[in-house]
Amino acid sequence: MKKILFSLVLGAMSVSMMAQTDAAEAKSDTTEGFRFTTIDSIAITPVKDQNRSGTCWSYSTIGFLESELLRMGKGEYDLSEMFVVHHTMLDRAEYVVRMYGTAQFAPGGSAYDVIYCLKNYGLVPQAAMPGIQYGSTPADTLPVHTELDAVAGGVVDAVANSGLKKLTPVWKKALTAVYDTYLGECPETFTYNGKEYNPKSFAEELGLNADDYVSITSYTHHPFYTTFALEVPDNWRMDQMYNVPMEEMMAIIDNALANGYTLAWGADVSEMCFTRKGLGVVPEEEKAADLTGSDAARWLGLSATDKREELTKKPLPEKTITQEMRQAAYDSWENTDDHGMQIFGTAKDQNGKRYYMVKNSWGTKKSEYKGIWYVSEAYMQYKTNDVLVHKNAIPKDIRKKLGIK
């Protein structure tokens, strides 16, 4: 794939750059590349790298909780993602076995899995459970779960689809040994800053209340202002999400950011113009040929890779997203629950168009912006499956409609 060049401008624009004539301000900048200026940004902890593991849901929501601790004045923490993964996958395996193998056992999860772990098992610092039990080079400090997923999946499949009339009580011990081997045992006690804790006492001292966090979604196959379990494979715990119209979902996101709250974001990133370079947009393809200087015949003959490059070279008009479009994408399997990230701010491009700033968990070297993605409002409207947010970040009028106190 050809490399797409983006230029990033961080911080406030200089007075001289802002002092443009009315005519120049009215005219869109058609030069190639995206130039972003931060509008508002909430404190986040450093970008991490999930590497070759299907654990974005844990990284994004742990990052969200770390930002909550910063917001609460608790200071900066580095919490263990793999403590959550270990507990979650054992719980998921038990669920799959109870369902006689008809449910999916996979390394994915949801933001709610982290909140469930906080409430039922506690949390631990990264130093107490790094989650890596093999290797001797710096590269080996990053998770590689290909073998783990295969071994654990084999155990669960063998038990869930065994056809036996009765199971032994020890199969879960065998699976626990697999996760202990690859991730390390979940510590019963540990010392942090000179004080001894267990996972639950550590979580209690952090001061995070699991009941303060709620999930928000927006689909029409269930009534608005009610709760339902979003029907996606990774919501296997059947988290009850509050269902609101798309405009109110966006209002919740904006109100949270305006008041110092970040959000854990469950999204579909299979869209062609969610790039690996740090951009998420939904350009109006019908207008793209004219605006990119391509004639219709050439445009129709472009490969998907080349078309993505053309559509993400510079800011282009985007689709107008409706509630019906969201629903159609969900119903047709176009939108999937394939990635978790953290929304923490807003920015604008060189034309004044607004974007959301999103912390990813793909390390700092794979994007133009050191692990940060810039996601347009249209993309957020179209591709958001759900967000997890502190209930106090929801506008009061919407909270009243939902019966949240």
What's the pLDDT tens digit per position in 76-108? 999 999 999 999 999 999 999 999 999 999 999
How far is the C-alpha of 328 from the C-alpha of 324, rounded, in Å?
Answer: 6
Q: Is the dihedral of CA 348, 354, 357, 362 positive or negative?
A: negative
Which domains can be identified in the chain, with CATH numbers?
32-282+318-402 (3.90.70.10)
Q: Which residues of 5-14 are buried (b: 16+ CB within 10 A; e: fewer)?
A: ebebbeeeee
pTM of the complete model? 0.89
Distance, in Å, from the CA atom of 74 to the CA atom of 10, rounded to the nearest integer, reads 27
- Tokens 């290797």 correspond to 135
Beta-carbon contacts of residue 270 (< 8 Å; ≥ 6 apart): 334, 336, 338
**Which backbone phi and psi does 117 adopt, to 5 degrees?**
-65, -45
The answer to whether the CB of 218 falls within 8 A of the CB of 326 is yes
Q: Look at residues 86, 79, 42 and name the one whose alpha carbon lies nearest to residue 61.
A: 79
pLDDT at residue 291, rounded to an integer: 55
Strand partners, 94: none
Express each pLDDT in 257-276 by its tens digit.
999 999 999 999 998 899 99
Q: Which of helix, strand or coil describes residue 355?
A: strand
Query: How many helical (H) and strand (E) elements, i.e. helices and strands, does the chain have?
Result: 15, 12
- Let me know: does 377 contact 272? Beta carbons within 8 Å: no
Q: Which amino acid is at 356?
A: Y
Looking at residue 4, its pLDDT comes to 38
CA-to-CA separations, 83 to 121, 179, 186, 296, in angstroms, rounded: 9, 10, 6, 53
For residue 151, give the nearest of 107, 87, 102, 103 by alpha carbon. Answer: 107
In angstroms, the CA 125 to CA 69 distance is 13
Task: Write down the pLDDT at residue 12.
Answer: 34
Return the pLDDT at 300. 64
DSSP state string for 46-91: PP-B--BSS-HHHHHHHHHHHHHHHHTT-----B-HHHHHHHHHHH
- Output the pLDDT for position 31: 57
d(CA 189, CA 192): 10
Q: What pLDDT, on a 0 to 100 scale, did the predictor assign at position 390? A: 98
State whether the Cα torsion 225-226-231-234 is positive or negative: positive
User: How far is the C-alpha of 114 from the C-alpha of 62, rounded, in Å?
Assistant: 7
Per-residue model confidence as pLDDT tens for the chain (405 residues): 433 333 333 333 332 333 332 333 333 454 579 999 999 999 999 999 999 999 999 999 999 999 999 999 999 999 999 999 999 999 999 999 999 999 999 999 999 999 999 999 999 999 999 999 887 665 678 999 999 999 999 999 999 999 999 999 899 999 999 999 999 999 999 999 999 999 999 999 999 999 999 999 999 999 999 999 999 999 999 999 999 999 999 999 999 999 999 999 999 999 889 999 999 999 998 766 665 555 555 556 678 788 888 899 999 999 999 999 999 999 999 999 899 999 999 999 999 999 999 999 999 998 899 999 999 999 999 999 999 999 999 999 999 999 999
First to last CA, the chain: 50
Q: How far apart are CA 350 and CA 374, in angstroms?
A: 13
The answer to whether 341 and 384 have CB atoms below 8 angstroms apart is no
- Helices 81-98, 171-183: crossing angle, 10 deg rounding: 160
